[in-house]
Amino acid sequence: MTIFHLVRHAEYDLLGHELVGRRPGVHLNEKGRGQAARLAAIFSETALDGVVSSPQERARETADPIAARRERPVTVTAALDEIDFGEWTGRSFRELNNDPRWHRFNHVRGIAMVPGGELLLEAQARALRLMDELRQRVPQGRFVLVSHGDIIRGVLTQLAGQPLDFIRRIEVGPAAVSTILLDEGEPQILAVNVKYDGQV
């Protein structure tokens, strides 16, 4: 069996205000750096075969302390990257609320196309493909995968046998950990949205 700890990146200043997407130059704020340090302390007690991260700075800055405590490098992969939000990248949620395409995207995530971007289905598939590759490569492994809210929720909905249209029913907060077991049988979701600051 292979265990995956799916970690959403920690907090940054634009969280909840702007659809940052893949916009460069977005870094963790002071609270986020504290969350990353707590995660590093938690995972210092866990045997790990790898720490894998999205290329985005906020994800890397969450993954780096975890890997440093274990004296191992971070593997960066586009498979865990944020959804390509195309022309919505960098727009405020206030602006997006006036766009009917944004409302459709939030109600039919399984088929709604992001203008100039990618389908959530495509993002979900690349993350799941990576997990299966790691499972086959290290069948008894344990990995921390640092990614983004919708990527993690997409994985969880698939492994729970639910359609992507249900994705917003799952909460995955900043610096939260969701744990999954994969082997040759049915996947098991062991934990969802666990926060190490006393909140759930």
Distance CA 120, CA 18 (A): 19
Predicted confidence band of residue 119 (pLDDT cuts 50, 70, 90): very high
- The order of strands in the sheet holding 188-194 is 74-76, 50-53, 142-147, 2-8, 177-182, 188-194
Does residue 135 sit within a domain?
yes
Query: Distance between the two ends of the chain, CA-based, in angstroms?
Result: 27
Structural domain range at position 25: 2-84+121-194
pLDDT reported for residue 116:
96
Residue 126: its H or E element: helix 120-137
Residue 197 predicted with pLDDT over 80? no
pLDDT reported for residue 199:
47
pTM of this prediction? 0.95
Predicted confidence band of residue 65 (pLDDT cuts 50, 70, 90): very high
pLDDT reported for residue 158:
96
pLDDT reported for residue 120:
95
**Residue scoring higher pLDDT (17 or 199):** 17
CA angle 152, 158, 164 (to 5 degrees): 80
**Domain count along the chain:** 1
All residues at 6 or more sequence positions from 197 whose CB lies less than 8 Å from its CB, including other chains:
35, 38, 175
DSSP string, 175-191: T-EEEEEESSS--EEEE
Residue 200 predicted with pLDDT over 50? no
Does residue 94 sit within a domain?
no
Residue 198 predicted with pLDDT over 60? no
Does residue 91 sit within a domain?
no
Does residue 189 sit within a domain?
yes
Does residue 78 sit within a domain?
yes
